[in-house]
Structure 1
Amino acid sequence: MTYIEKKIKEFKGFCGILVKDLKKNEIIYSYNENKFFTPASVTKLFTTFAVFEIFKKEYIFSTKFYFTNGDLIVKGCGDPTIDLKTFDMILNKIKERSGKVFFDTLVIDDSLFNNNEFFGYGWMYNDEENPYIKPFNIKDFVPENNYYAELLELLKPLFIKHRFPIECINSGNVEEKETPFYIHKSAEIDKITEIMMKNSDNYIAEMFFRMLSVKKYGKGEIEKSIEVLKEELYKNLGLEYEEDYVITDGAGLSRYNLISPLTAVKVFEYMLEKYGDRFLNILAYTKSYGTLENRFNFDVWGKTGTLTGVSGLTGLLITKKGRKFIFSLFENNYVYEKTYGKIFENDIINYLYNTF
């Protein structure tokens, strides 16, 4: 019995492994490599694939602000990076340009997404980590009941700080033919993707997922985003929905998602071959910030995944002898602490590093 076989036998759950030598194009080890697993945030690897394929790396989000009939109107564009600090800066810019223009209502045009889909398919309803998805939102803000009233309470200190007498936030629409008063531009999409992958940011990932259908159809809807991802995976890798994978969100919070180690390795290898350092640089890495920082004392790039009873890691390992392995490990259906799956992964990765 090999070391890996021993670890598999000891593991009290369901696991799958695929390890491939990149240069020799040969399988080093496989176990349940064709079986489906709940992937958790390893799903973000697929989100990144779609973003890289559909958007130019220079793409930026442009959030437009208008003055109309005494209202300040914001046209949501799906920018996932607007937090309280950023919105504070936006209000300061508006204050500099507005002079004595008076407005007492903030109107949010959130027509870019389907407004009935503020959570994702297959998300646990009582999960406190679920982000709230709208084309304009303050990052990490999740209302309990009334979105607009609670958003007003969140933003009121900023309105007071900048002396804006805003007492109401509601929804509305703005005609695109109108000239915006101010446009807030995000960082380029590669930088945002790096934050998403290194920190496993669920809000960014799900906003990206909705933007897939905006890019192709003009409106963010979950079913259409699923279709866009399906089309891209089939066109570029020949992967079939339900035969090779099931993905219904971008963050990996969905319990509907199913991915095999084989499919994960195929997507990772495709991304590495096509995008090279551009892809590697946005991944978590053992010698940089993110979910793999200091986890190993050797070079590993990858994407982690964690939910209750679920763990996963797909990535690139450089062994002690300099061999490059692409690998995917998934662990499901265990009842111990979340670290239980990570310990199993660490044992396998350390063994591969030292043995090869």
Structure 2
Amino acid sequence: MKLYLCLIFSSIFSLISFPITAQESVKLDEKICESNLNQKIESIVNEPSRQQETWGILIENLNNNQVLYQLNKSKFFVPASNLKLLTTAGALLKFGADFRIKTPVYIKNISINDTIRSNSLDSLIIEGKGDPTFSKKQLEIIAQKLQQKGVKQINSLVLIDGYLSSPSTNYTWEFEDIYFYFAVPINSLILENNTVSLTLNPTNINEKSSLKWSDELAGKQWSIENSVYTRDSDIENNINIFPIFARSSLEIIGDLSINEESNTWQLSIPNPAKYFEESLIQVLNNYDIEVKNSQIIDRNNNLDQNRQLFLEINSPTLAELIKVTNQESNNLYAEILLKYLLKDELTEWESLNKMMNDLGVSERDYKLKDGSGLSRHNLITPSALVTILKGINNSKYQNIFANSLSIAGVNGTLENRFKDSNITNNLYGKTGTLTGSASLSGYLKNDNYEDLVFSIIVNNSTASSAVLRSSIDQIILLLGQLKKC
């Protein structure tokens, strides 16, 4: 029996931001004294439409730790993508800003004069290390280097996909999430973010719309039941994707207006290691290099000790990786960073606990199930998030971490929020959104007051993500009007 679940887009992380209307609810020319702040904030969170929600708020003076407002600061909340603050801060403290993920490429059968015997390699071996930036550009580099050495044939292509800890898919993620770009498998052989695009294009009226994959090698891993029909121009688009349980299958149902240019969906690649293998073989063939046999193995398998390092492909620095993680709220990057915290006798969770303890956060104040915040089982207190922000602000990584956050009205998930207000360019923050939950934590500069550090989380809501963001933004706009009285 097939089980169908419809994707609800409000469950998607805050990778997409929408213009806010909070400015319309706050008198932007009004100055607010500290003594009036409580009443102003409570007028927002205690509105009739907010009564069944749960709010957690902590706002402090960044310089002297003075608490300006608090509400349920020590209670647990589902943080959504605000959890990435823990993962990125932990990785930065553990490895430093200049750390890079290095992917080694080995060969076997090279002569003393550094030329390939008989234009043939016994083996080409690539050990995936979980570089989330790995793309076909890197595959091209490998092929070019081999071509320059005169290689025409590879007898055995060996790809190692077990460097990172299992499982590749978090068991606490929801079923309907794992089919889409924000919940891709977290493996060691990553290519193109483990993501593929499916585009629906109109055809003739009352005929099925055509499907086009951004990459056919990735697309062939999917089975698509297409029930989207092209309709007249006066018909509104109405397209839904329904994952089919326990299969790499999707049913797409709905109507697509003939005037619509296209309708694109970002999907996960079910077997990214296989996609890596087939893509590499395709690239090698384009360079007239034939692959006789290929296999994907676990890193624990015994490897030929006679292999030689051919080249090493490096990722951008960790400073750049955490910028993508926080500004774009990239779940793949966050999960990779968490898995990298596994070291020696410590699990990734124990290692992260150690880093958080160094920042002054007790493990009693958070319970984690992933590194990205996609799991609805994650719990953290607003107080813990503020402590993390203060701790990293007092470290040597102060500027690097702050620059990894989105800037209000400028970039990342805050690009379209606080436009044309005194918050623009003055708020550095991390957003978070899940169905029924929204969060924003970060730093706020105020020319008329002092720098602030804050965490605002709302859970258990039936309101849309846009409505929740607007309520949070109203609070932030109030903070921007603070003055000393």
* TM-score in terms of structure 2 length: 0.66
* 1:130 counterpart residue number: 183
Q: Does 1:196 align with 2:325?
A: yes
104, 123, 131: which one aligns with 1:71 = 123
Q: Does 1:82 align with 2:134?
A: yes
* 1:112 counterpart residue number: 163
Q: Does 1:286 align with 2:408?
A: yes
Structure 1 residue 51 displacement after superposition: 0.8
Whole-Å separation in 1 of the counterparts to 2:467 and 2:134: 35
Whole-Å separation in 1 of the counterparts to 2:133 and 2:279: 17
Whole-Å separation in 2 of the counterparts to 1:199 and 1:88: 26
SS, match of residue 192 in structure 1: helix
Q: Is the 8 A contact 1:72 1:103 kept in 2?
A: yes
Name the CA shift for 1:175/1:120 in 2 (closer, same or farther; >3 Å): farther
Q: Is the 8 A contact 1:139 1:203 kept in 2?
A: no
> What percent identity do the matched residue pairs reach?
28
* 1:171 counterpart residue number: 296
* 2:459 counterpart residue number: 332
Name the CA shift for 1:118/1:193 in 2 (closer, same or farther; >3 Å): same
Residues 81-140 of structure 1: per-residue CA shift (max 9 Å, x gap): 1023333344333433x31241155321123223x4101252113202212111221142
Name the CA shift for 1:217/1:342 in 2 (closer, same or farther; >3 Å): same
Name the CA shift for 1:156/1:4 in 2 (closer, same or farther; >3 Å): same
Name the CA shift for 1:132/1:169 in 2 (closer, same or farther; >3 Å): farther
Structure 1 residue 152 displacement after superposition: 4.3
Whole-Å separation in 2 of the counterparts to 1:102 and 1:193: 39
* 1:57 counterpart residue number: 97
SS, match of residue 453 in structure 2: strand
Name the CA shift for 1:276/1:231 in 2 (closer, same or farther; >3 Å): closer
* 2:154 counterpart residue number: 103
Q: Is the 8 A contact 2:189 2:276 kept in 1?
A: no
* 1:226 counterpart residue number: 349
Structure 1 residue 156 displacement after superposition: 5.4
Structure 1: gaps of 5 or more residues? none
Name the CA shift for 1:279/1:177 in 2 (closer, same or farther; >3 Å): farther
Name the CA shift for 1:175/1:247 in 2 (closer, same or farther; >3 Å): farther
- Please give the root-mean-square deviation of Cα atoms over the aligned residues, in Å: 2.4
Residues 193-217 of structure 1: per-residue CA shift (max 9 Å, x gap): 112111111111100100000xx22
Q: Is the 8 A contact 1:316 1:327 kept in 2?
A: yes
Give the length in aligned residue pairs. Answer: 346
Structure 1 residue 343 displacement after superposition: 0.8
Whole-Å separation in 2 of the counterparts to 1:103 and 1:204: 32
Whole-Å separation in 2 of the counterparts to 1:47 and 1:281: 16
Q: Is the 8 A contact 1:121 1:256 kept in 2?
A: no
SS, match of residue 70 in structure 1: strand
Q: Is the 8 A contact 1:148 1:170 kept in 2?
A: no
383, 399, 424: which one aligns with 1:277 = 399
User: Hey, which of these two has a bigger chunk of helix by percent?
Assistant: 1
**Is the radius of gyration larger for structure 1 or structure 2?**
2
Structure 1 residue 76 displacement after superposition: 1.4
Residues 214-270 of structure 1: per-residue CA shift (max 9 Å, x gap): xx228xxxx911111112222441x332x2111222111122210111110000010
* Alignment of structure 1 residues 287-326 onto 2, 5 Å: 288-296=410-418, 297=421, 298=423, 299-326=426-453
Whole-Å separation in 1 of the counterparts to 2:130 and 2:193: 14
Structure 1 residue 326 displacement after superposition: 0.3
Amino acid at match of 2:147: K
36, 44, 48: which one aligns with 1:7 = 44
* TM-score in terms of structure 1 length: 0.89
